[in-house]
Structure formats: structure tokens, C-alpha cells
Chains A and B, each alone.
Chain A
Amino acid sequence: MTYRFVLSAATLLFLGIGSASAQTRTITGTVTDASNNEPVGTGRVLVQGTVIATTLREDGMFSITAPQRDVVLAIQSVGFKRRDVAVSAGQSSVQVSLQRDYFDLEAVVVTGQASSVARKNLANSVATVTAEELTTTSTASVENALQGKIAGAYINQNNGAPGGGNIVRMRGVTSIIGAFQPLYVVDGVIVSNAEIGRGTNLVQRAFTSQGIVPTVDNQDNAVNRIADLNPNDFENVEVLKGAAASAIYGSKAANGVILITTKKGQAGAPRFTLMQRLGGSKISNQYGTRCFNDVAEAAATFGAQGAADFQPGVCHDFEDELYGRVAWGRESAGSVSGGTEATRYFSSVLVKHEGGISPRSFADKQTVRLNLDQNVGTRLRVSVGADVIHIANDRGLFNNENNGSPSQAAMSSMPSFVDYRGICPDGSRVTDPGKPCAGATYPSTAPYAFSNPFQSVALVTNKESVWRTTFIGRVDWDLLSSSQHTVRLTANGGGDVFTQKNQVYAPPEVQFEGLRGIPGSSAIGFGQSQNFNVNGNLVYTYRTPGGTSATTQLGVQYESADLDRSNSLSNNLVGGQPNQGSGTIVTVQEYRERIRDVGVFAQEEFLTLDERLLLTAGARADQSTNNSDPEKLYLYPKAAASYRVPELAWFRDFKLRAAFGQSGNRPSYGQKFTNLTGANIAGLPISLVSNTTAAADLRPERQTEIEAGLDATMFNERANLEVTVYRKDVKDLLLTRTLTPTAGFTTLVYNGVFQDSAGLEQSTSIRNRGLEVGLTVFPVQTRSFQWNVHGTFFMNRCTVLRVPARFRPISFFNFNQFGTTQIEQDSSCTQIFANDSIGRLPGDASFICPATGTTLPVGSICNRKIGDNSPDWRAGLSNELTYRGLRFYFLLDRQKGGLIVNFSRFTYDAVGTSSDQKVAKKPGDLTGDERLDISSNKTALGASTWDASYLKLREAMLSYELPRSWVNRFWGSARYVRLSLSGRNLITWSKYKKVGYDPEVQQVARSLAVESTWELWAYPPSRSVYFTVDLGF
């Protein structure tokens, strides 16, 4: 139906194709780089006031058919400043030299569904990351490539599992329980970043409902599906951080929008690129093992059984035996692009294998893409793009459990004096746990632990296979073009479809499978996501001869999103067969979503005063079936202004800007329903009223953002400074209110409306205020040596403006014992309270406890704020040094503040297996016994919760591009040959590493901003190094 609409719309557009006017002449020209007089290889030449355009050839030449009158040619090339050249009626050739645009001020930035402005006029802070910056190192997912590069984006890699899994938060806390990940748009089409549970929990049983029946949940260590995309295909990534910039995306834009533009073909002979990477990763930090000196120590920790099993002088480092290897990876990518003036193509292929340090875990990705641009006559351009992606991975068993299945859960309880590695039939030990000998048997870890990790990694699989395709179509039709008026109709739409298949299989002989008397688990999951969206836009531009222009845009957007996930778990597998039919106990679950959204928008952009003043105003109105009233329109206005100050002191370019915008965050699917769920008791059908009910007027959260800033280019274009401050208020916050049990429901989902003490109706709201600074400096810029420095810094403070008294968000990991989020008026949105113990940590002194107002002596307990989940600030600093073909680059990423709870360490301490159980690592540190003593009944910062500050050498690269003259001697058509060595997460400096893997570790992949970060039997993070060869010809 909707597909047919697109077809019919396209047909309609074809009918309107006009023909070029008759009286013409030909202008030829050469375009060169002003700094070295070498030809500018790519670019575009446009006859001002018309739609006549052509592209530059590789030798910098162009030839264009222009009207028989005085014309102005606009010449643009990426990386250069635009130049307008007057060509009189009698002139037939021009020589043009372009000035370098070091700070991409001429690059256009998307500001509407179908309009854009040059960065130099942009009224918002929009971060742009280029293709080169995205592919410096090998990354699992595109978000990793953005880490440390964008002021305002908190990006966290949840663990070390191959294949991705990240959290992105833009400008602080945008929602308390609502969606928080940004919206991803590829070439104008919204693509899914869904995270469909793998079904791991069906085997690990961390969360169960109805007694002991496990369900799929958010502790599955799933991949958020944006990881599927191939970053090598991206031309650039633009990041709209908040409502001021993203209002045009309406009720899905409150968490920011990440706009991805893929590479397009350019006219000319085919250009090929080939890239081959080869490298590997290795565990970056370890927990370590406690060695037991004598039988008394063993008995004190493990009881009589431990004394019996004790072997003097034996100390196995299980982590080393399990994760000690280097995990190899490789990546092969290639592309070809080219075409004629009328038909341009870009096509790419990627084959990637990422090994995992946990035996048998891996992530594979294969993608192909084709982008095609076709001119139909001079007024119509049609673009299509499609990619096909295949993903396969195995991520092992990690994260929360209730049957001891993850390796670390078992390791923390296992005595190091017993060798638990597999035993081959010939009596030797299995040395590579991922490749055991045939017939290997495994010692039982009972009664210490429930599973033998060496057996689990050898026999259990946690596989995923995804087939995904996105297809994008775009039609631009110039309905009218004169020197003063242009009217363009743009239709842009596409689909994003994937199927995800998961299989988690633990054969009956696996130790933890025997625990429940129904050995053998086979969990399969099928997820299917079908997203389709289309938008139509009419853009009218009026230009006065004086250079003032007004752009009016009207648009409409329709989106549908359907998700269907079904899981089945088969237990007690007859003959150990993984087929669902071979189990005697089968549990089936299904979850579906169906969302329909409609939006309309209008926008006016007014550019005047010699392109110095830009004024923008617009609005979007949205409907969504996720709202209680699907017909109701929610309006999101925006307005922005920027002014470029003419020549100011030593500033080359100085811009002041301010923007205002609103956007929404609609309720999640199904939140508006009070379910009457079907179930059964031994086959007798029953229905159960859900514990969760919703307010009758559930609606989107509303974010209002005001940002202001300045952009300045200084010191003869040697430095560029961007400073932005913003204030972002979110009201109508979606909240899950924990009802009194007597309410008959445990949870109410509502928009936080409450009555204050004066009986007035109030809306729950929060405020984020932040500062973002971006500084780019070129301290040395000679022809042979360049030094580029780029720094970002940002801080965000979230404050609760209004909230019902004593509100606590519902979340899985809010334990009093490990800190709980306390949302209080006038306090930080992410403050963590806990029972702090006084005097247990070095430097503690008696103090006045806020809860009681009395001075408590050393040794007592006080419930107080122990920290904040949000970092104080984050900063990134990159340095790039280039000497001829040699390039050295590194990126430092720093986080100050934030909290992390370490449950894994708690289990080591509780059993008594921490390497520092009895003797502190350094004088002044706590021992395991001391930590346990403090954290068993109470929390103290430094005993169960830790400061998550870190400094990481996030990326580093050394590359050498062979001199072209030398290469061309034996390979004439080569454009470049580059060799590089790059690394990722090479070094981490953090005090947290004393007790945990890494301060970025987060076990609940969909964790809310207000939830504590937890390390819980995580996949150990690793550092990776790759050698890369890049060829262009």
C-alpha cells in the first residue's frame, strides 16, 4: 500500500519533467587549490539562480552549459571555501583557485527534512564526524568510533564482547524511565536501533516470572542493532544533540538525532578502494586469584571439603587459563564508485571477523551496499540505495544469572588449588578451552560453584544471526527554478527490515544444567523488525538580487514500526538434541509491537545581510499510536538565529548563535494498556490482571531546549573555537510510580502529574544545564609538516525541578545495600544514596548525618548521598602529526566522576577468593575481608561502589602513505598506498581497575540514566591492535 504510494508519487513526478532552455553556451574552467596550485579533484559547479550544475573532473577541469548572459558560477569543493565567480556573456573559460576551508565552515549541515545551511551560518551546535575520523581504528559499532570526539555525547561501551553494545546519551539525562538512546537516521530514513534480547536469560535464569520460568530480559548482553551498519560506507555523521536542533524530528527526537550520510558516487572513471586489516585483542585487566598458603587457610574459606581438596603450592589463575589468549580479527573492505554526469554509483563490500577473548566467542559481519544517483533530465534526480547485512556472533554466557552459569560467577567461588581444566582421555589437560580434545571430561566444581567454566565455554553456544536490509529512495524534483524562485519537491523514504535469530544451547552434560533436574536447555528466538517511513517535502526558496534568501519548507512524514519477537525454551532435552521438539518441557513467549506515527512540519529560513544573519522558525506536529489518544497532535516549535560578525579583531570569522526548540519522547509501545494476560494452571485457562496500569492521558515527554554559543576562527585560521551553553527542561516526564501494594497494582505509568503541598497540580520536570567546548588548533601548518589538535570538553548538571515527594524510580538494580537513586526536588537527577558507614574507610571522621541531623560517631551508619551516577565532566583530546606521508594520531578520552557498583567483586569477597582478601594491594587500600565487612550490611564508597573516573588512550594510529611518485613507478593507476598500525582502548588509567575490569562496564545494556552502573560477571574488556593496508586506485 505505502509502497504503491511511493511508486505512484514517483510516476507523477516523472510527468513534470521539463527541458532545458534553448539559448546556451559552454564555459570551461580549471579549479586549483590556492595553497599549492594543484588541481582540486572533486567538486561541483553551479550556475547561480538555475539548476544547471556539473561536477569537477579529477584534473580539476569542468565544462558547463550556461545561458547566453552574464552568469555567476558557484564553485564548491569539500574542504575548500565556496567561491562565486562572475562570468560575463562573452567569456568562455575561467581559472579559479579555492582557499582551504580548514574548519569545514562551508560544509552544509542538515537543518530540516529537506533543507540545509552552510556550517558557517548554522545556529546550532551540530557535531560532524568525517569518514576518516570514523575509520581510524577497527570498531565493533559506529558509536565506538564517536567516543571522545563529540562534546555533549556520553558514549559507553558496555563490555568487551565482540560485536558491539553501547549506550549513548546526549546532553545529560533526557528521561527517567523513557527511551534514552538517540534516533538514527540514514540518508533521511529512520533506521532501527532496537535491542532484541538474545534469550541468554532463558538459560542463565537471572530473572524469572511465575515461580521459576525464565523470561527474555534486558540483562541479555544484547547488541543494539545500529552496530550492524558498516561505518566504512559513511560519508559523515552529524549529531543533533537536543531539541533546539532536533525539533524537526518531533516526538522521537528528545534524545538527540544521529544523522548518517552514506557515500555517493561521483562522475568519472571508476575509483576503487581496498582495505585489509589484521590484528587482535587481548584482555586489558584481570581480577586475579587468591592463592592459599596452607590447609588452614583453605579450610577457613571452603570448610571441610576445602581442607580435603587442598593441594599445597598449587594456584590456578582461572582467568588466565580461560581468557589469556589473543583473539584474532580481520576486516576486508572494498568499494568502487564513479559514473557519468547523469548516473553515479557507489558500491561497497565488507567482510569482517572479530575474535573474542572468551573462547569460541566471535562476531562476524558481511555487508554489501549499492548507492545509485540518476539524473532524469535536468530537473529530476532519483537516488536509490540499498544494503544487505549479515551478522553472526557468539557472545558466550555473561552478566546476571541465578544458576552460576557465567564463567566469573563460578570462578569467584572456585578454590584456586584445584585444577578444573578439562581432562583428555589420555589424562592430559585441555590447554585451549575453546578447542578441547575429543572426549574431554570436566571436574565438578561442586560444592563450591554451580558450573565449571572450562566446560561451559567448550559446550555452550549463544549464537546470533541477523539478516538485515535497508533500502532508501529519494526523488528531488525542481518544479520551478529561476534566478529568484526555486521550488523543489522532495520525496524520501525507505524501509529497514531485519530478522534476528538466536540460539542459546546448553547440553544436558553441562554442570549447571543438572541443577534443576531438567538437564539441557535450548532457547531459540526469532525477532523480526519492519520499519518503514516516508516523508514528502516542498521547499520554496526566494532569493533577492541582493543575496537575501527565504526558504519555506512544508513536509509530512509517516512511519510504521512493527516488531515481533518470539522465544521458546526447551528443557530436559532427550538425547541432548537442541531441537525444540526434543525437550519435555517447552516454554513459549511472544512479544509484539505495532507503532504508527504521523507528523507534519513547516519551517522558514531567512538568510540576509550578505549571508551573515540567519533566522529560522519552524514547527512539527506529531501523532502516535503509543499515546493514549493516537489522534491527538503534539506541537513542537523551534526558532534559531545566528549572526556572523564582520571582521572582528583577530577573529577571521566570529559567529554568535542562539536556538530554541522543543521535542518529545513518546511513551514506549504498550505502556498505555492495562493488560489482561492469558495464562494457565496445568492447562486450565486463566487470565491475570497486570501489575502495571497506566494513566488515561499518557503522552510524550516534552523537552524545551535553549542553547546559545559562539563560533570563532582565530589567528589567521589557525584555531577554531566553539562554545555552547544550553538549558534543557523536560516536563511531562514519564514515570513509573511505585504504588502502595494496597493499590491493587504495583506500578502506575504516568506523566508525573502530582499535587504539591498547596494542592496545585504540578508536572514532574528536570533541568539539564551544560557547557560544551570544542577547540581545534593547527599549531604548525607547513607544506610538509602539519600538527592538528582537537579537544572537546563538556559538562552537564541535571537538577530535579519538581517531583512528587519521596519518588523512587523502579529499576532492577536499586538495592539499598548498593546504593539507590533518590530523586528529590532541587537535587541531582542521578544522585545515589546508600547506608554509608562512618569511619570504615581511611580518612573517615565523625560528621553530622543529614538524615538525623546528629553527629554520628565513627562506626555508625548514616543514609546519605554517596555520589552521583553522572560524570562531572568528560573531555577528549586528539593530536595528529603529519610529516609528508607519515602520520601519527592519538585520542585521549577522559571521564571525571560517575559511580560504578561492583557486584562481581562482592561475590569474590563474600566467598573469600579475592587476591587481596587478606593483604591489601597497597598500604591504605581495603582488603577483601574489610570490603565485605563494610558492604555486607551497608554501603561505603570504596567498598561496594567506586568512583568511575578514567583516562583512556582510546585510539592511536601510526600510518605511512607511500610516495605516489614511487608507487606509480610500478603501479601507474594507484592513487594511494597506505600502511598503518592502529590500536583501541590501549591504556586505561583508573583507580577502579584495582577491584573491577573497567569503569565503563555496564551489565544492564538498556540501563536508565538514573540507574547505577553495575559490573556483574561482565565479558572482560580488551585492548585491540590492528595492522591495516589501504589501497586506492
Chain B
Amino acid sequence: MRAYQMAACLGLSLVLGGCTDLDAPNQNAGTLNELESGTPSRAAVNTATQGLLAGVRGANRALVLGILGREAYSLDVSNPQNTPQFYTVQNQLTAYWGAYVNNKQADIVLKALDNVVGMTDGEKEGIRGFAKTLKAYLLFSVIRETDVGGATLDALDDPTDPPPAIVSKDEVYTQILAWLDEAQTHLQTSGAAFPFTMTAGFSSFNTPTTFLQFNRALRAKVNLTWAKYADALTDLQGSFLDPSKAMSFGAYNTYSTLSGDAQNGLFDPTARQRYAHGSYATDAKLKADGVTKDDRFTSKIYAIARFNRYGFDVAWAFKRYPSNTEPIPVIKNEELILIRAEANIALGTTTGADPRDDINAVRTSSGGLPAIGVATWVLLTATQRRDTLLYEKRYSLMYENGDRWVDLRRYGLLPRVPQDRAGDLVWPNLRIPVNECVPRGSQPAGCTALPGLTPGQQPPAP
């Protein structure tokens, strides 16, 4: 601005009280207006779509659910106040926070698709299928924690609106399945390729056709968790389950050390604060030599100098994630094979494969354990078969998504987790966060703590 303009401006201010050089746009980031108003660009919609995968990453709950299921300890000397909330008071550290923030972004993307320029209808359908699948995944990540407490279905359009109802567990599962099926329709009517780029962890699912296999795999897990075993078996047929492929084949969260990215927070090379539960060592089965333990134990856990902290006797740590960029599974072939086995055991069927074959496929290739012979298998009761299956899940999915705790709860086996300190409890679900509850006049069931269970009441799980 020229000197005279400034002088004029100052002079004008005296008279009119207005100066026009009051322009200070956002210096630190873009603003939401880029997606919400006018005609968003193809690039803006694509990068926001790609951002949804960061939300999926945020839904990884290996540590919190791992502590509840006594897979892991987090004994942080910097934050000793955090220890009680896992063992003596009920935890509110649910996936609730991140899930709805990410689903809000998905909603913003879905709305932006109506106005985006430079994108074909087929490409838009691809994004819709992708976004709705991820919304379903995140809502699932909430309900598997709050369980009978229920959850809200979707993020609000206007953040200042009154909060929506907290609905029952069954209603939430119905919504998850509905989104997955809507996503399926979108993916089936989309073009051959997505307009956006997938992360390395989803590289096997980077077209609408292959992503639909991920969608179905997810649906199988949702149905299994909801005890709809027959539906789970149906879903698996459209999934990427393939015993001929590597057990590790699947969808992963990707991390890097690039600036502006996140690293794998479970990487703890010096066993600083995260430790493996000692029961992994005592429960690990022996290989054929009768001496060596399950490969899944020896490859994921190592011994450390034994010490005591806050009353916990600690001797083991994880090496499950050997670097700060190690991908964390979202869902993988190994899990799908075990889901098929579990559903078949529950139904007493052999749809797709004999559950014994599925279990053997996993325990021999992943664990290096001897296969279970037919003669042994036929003598097992349904409960024993289930426990056999749960052992495989416990070691195959160790420290990945907290499935151990969810599985024990589904079968009413939570008291089986070992008791480490007198008075410790194990919680059947996580409470809905207080900030979700407080604005509501009457408190829905999920806002009230369920009684904690006393662990160590039954013989240890196999």
C-alpha cells in the first residue's frame, strides 16, 4: 500500500471508522470452506478422501483393549495416574472420540461429491463406496467397545445441534451392516479405478473390485462379533480369504517417519513402558520337539530383566512391531481363516472348509505347532473346539486389535483373565465418554458403569 493510501485510510478511519486493509487469511492450514462451499476441486476431494485412512489408523486399539484383555501392560513412570483407570475404575478411553470426527470428515467428503468438478459419476461412486465402508469400520470400532452400552449412529450435521440418541447395540450393528451394503452397491456401480490413491497398507484393495473384498471381510468380522455366524460365512465368500495366500495378506495401517505423518506408537524397542503379559509365556503351546514354544510367542515376545512396578511383576516385552514404521493389521487373511473356523464351530458346520483344517492351516504355518489330528478333533466337545480356536486367535492376533478381550466377552469368559494384583477388576465394556453423556438430560444405559468382574475365577484359558 502506498503512503498516501495509508494516510487516506487512517484519515477515513476517523470519519467512517473503516479501513479496508483488514485481510488476514488462515496462515497455517486450508479451511473447511474449500470442501463445503462452491465447487470443490477434484484434488481437494481426493486428498480429503485419502485422509479417511488416517482415521482408520486412529481406530487401532491394540494397547487399550490389550490391557483390558491382559495381553499387555502400560506402566508409564511418567504417568502413574493412568494405571488405576484400567484396573480399578472403569475406563472411558473409547474409540468414540476419533470415530465420529473421522465419520464427520467422511460426511463432508460425501457432500462435497455433489458439487465437485472434474470427477466422473463412476469415480464419485467409488469414493462413496470407500467412504461408507470406512464409516462402518469406525462405528464398529465403537460398538465392539461399548457393546451393551450402545452408541450414537452418526456424526451431527451441525455440531451445535442437540446430540442424537444413543441407540441399542442391535441398532448399531444394523446400521454398520447397512452402510457396508450401501458401499457394496456403490462399489459395484463405480468405474474400474478409484480417483484417489490408496496407502501402501491398502495396496491390495486399491480398485473398487478388490476393495469390495475388504468390505466383505469386514462384514464377516462384524457379523461374527454380533454372533450372526451364518451371515459371517456368507460374507467370507466375497472376501479375500484365501488359504493359499500368505497368512499376513490383508489390509494394514501404514506409518512412516516422514514429517507430517504418524509413526507406529506400539514400537517400544527398549521396553520402556509397554510389556507383554506373563500368561503368554505360561500358556504358549510347545512344538513337536516338546521344548520350543509356539513360533507366534517366540517371534512376538522376548524376555526382559524381571522387575516390579506399581505392584505388577513384569518379565516380558513385545517385539511384535520391530520398527516405528511397521504396519499394523486392520484385517488379514489369518484372521479370516479363523473367523471361518469359529463360525463353523459355532454352527457345527463345515461351510467353505472343515474348521479343523482352517485351525491346522494357521497353527502349523504361523505357530509351527503340530496339526490336530482327526482322532483328537472328533473327541473334542464344542466348547473345547471353541477354546482351541480361541488359543489360535489369541496368539495369531496378539497385540493387533484387542480381539482377545472382545472374544472373551462374547463367550462370557472375561473372568478367565489372570489376576495380577489383589482387588483388580476386568471390565465387560467401556463407558460412553462423559462428554457424550453430560449434555443429555437422562443418562442412557451406556453412560453408567457396569460392575467390574473379578478376574482369575476360572481355570486359565487354553
Contacts and interface: CB of A to CB of B under 8 A. Distances in A.
A591 interface: yes
Nearest to A6: B3
Given A600-B14, A740-B439, A447 B254 contact: no
Interface in B354-406: none
A585 B257 contact: yes
Nearest to B35: A676
Contact of B28 (A213, A670, A818): A670
Contacts of B156: 742-744
B14 A554 contact: yes
B107 A674 contact: no
B282 interface: no
Interface stretch (A283-291, A681-689, A717-725, A883-891): A681-689
A210 B6 contact: no
B146 to A, nearest CB: 11
A554 B305 CA distance: 76
Contacts of A304: 306-308
Contacts of A625: 22-24
A450 B30 contact: no
B44 interface: yes
A450 B24 contact: no
B13 A681 contact: no
Interface string A669-698: 110011111111111111111110100000
A708 B155 CA distance: 51
Main secondary structure of the interface of B (DSSP, over half): loop
A681 B160 contact: no
Nearest to A512: B272
Given A210-B262, A598-B22, A806 B28 contact: no
B435 A739 contact: yes
B265 interface: yes
B249 interface: no
A634 to B, nearest CB: 11
A688 B77 contact: no
Interface string A630-648: 1101000000000000000
B26 A675 contact: yes
Given A1-B2, A631-B18, A693-B159, A741 B435 contact: yes
A684 B107 CA distance: 21
Contacts of B77: 404, 409, 413, 449-450, 907, 911
Given A676-B30, A688-B51, A745-B104, A594 B14 contact: no
Nearest to A621: B17
A595 B313 CA distance: 55
Contact of B78 (A409, A590, A687, A806): A409
Interface stretch (B93-101, B178-186, B236-244): B93-101
A744 B54 contact: no
B100 A681 contact: no
Contacts of B44: 687
Nearest to A412: B77
A23 to B, nearest CB: 38
B302 interface: no
A678 B261 contact: no
B267 interface: yes
Contacts of B100: 741-744
Looking at B7, B21, B24, the one whose CB has the most chain A CB atoms below 10 A away is: B24
A600 B101 contact: no
A630 B24 contact: yes
Which size bracket describes the interface of B in this complex? 35 or more
Interface in B301-333: 305-310, 313, 323-325
Nearest to A568: B259
A592 interface: yes
Contacts of A554: 14
Nearest to A299: B308
A625 B22 CA distance: 6
Interface in B1-45: 1-7, 10, 13-14, 17-19, 21-24, 26-32, 34-35, 44
B332 to A, nearest CB: 19
Interface string A569-613: 001000000000000111110111111101010000000000000
Interface residues of A, number: 99
A679 B310 contact: no
Contacts, number: 285
Contacts of B154: 742
Interface string A782-826: 000000000000000000000000100000000101100000000
Nearest to B10: A556
Interface string B62-103: 000000000000001111110010001100000011011101
A48 interface: no
B29 A586 contact: no
Nearest to B155: A744
A558 interface: yes
A748 interface: yes
B449 interface: no
B101 A744 contact: yes
A692 to B, nearest CB: 10
A946 interface: no
Contacts of A740: 152, 163, 435-436, 439
Contacts of A472: none
Nearest to A686: B51
B223 interface: no
Nearest to B57: A681
Contacts of B76: 402
A739 B89 CA distance: 24
A817 B22 contact: no
B30 A558 contact: no
Interface string A975-1018: 00000000000000000000000000000000000000000000
A468 to B, nearest CB: 22
B433 interface: yes
Looking at A403, A681, A748, A806, the one whose CB has the most chain B CB atoms below 10 A away is: A681
Contact of A743 (B1, B35, B159): B159
Nearest to A747: B159
B256 interface: yes
A679 B54 contact: yes
Interface in B395-453: 433, 435-436, 438-439
Contact of B10 (A558, A593, A748): A558
Contact of A806 (B31, B272, B438): B438
Nearest to B308: A303
Interface in A543-563: 554, 556, 558
Nearest to B4: A8
B148 interface: no
A2 interface: yes
B3 A210 contact: no
A803 B97 CA distance: 25
Contacts of A600: 13-14, 17
Contact of B263 (A213, A590, A630, A670): A213
Contacts of B291: none
Given A450-B77, A673-B31, A677-B29, A1 B24 contact: no
22 contacts: A4-B6, A403-B78, A450-B77, A516-B267, A516-B268, A593-B27, A630-B22, A631-B18, A669-B24, A675-B31, A679-B51, A679-B260, A684-B50, A689-B105, A690-B29, A740-B439, A741-B99, A743-B104, A743-B163, A744-B156, A806-B438, A937-B88
Question: Which 4 pairs show the lowest CB-CB distances between chains A and B?
Answer: A744-B104, A303-B308, A744-B155, A517-B269
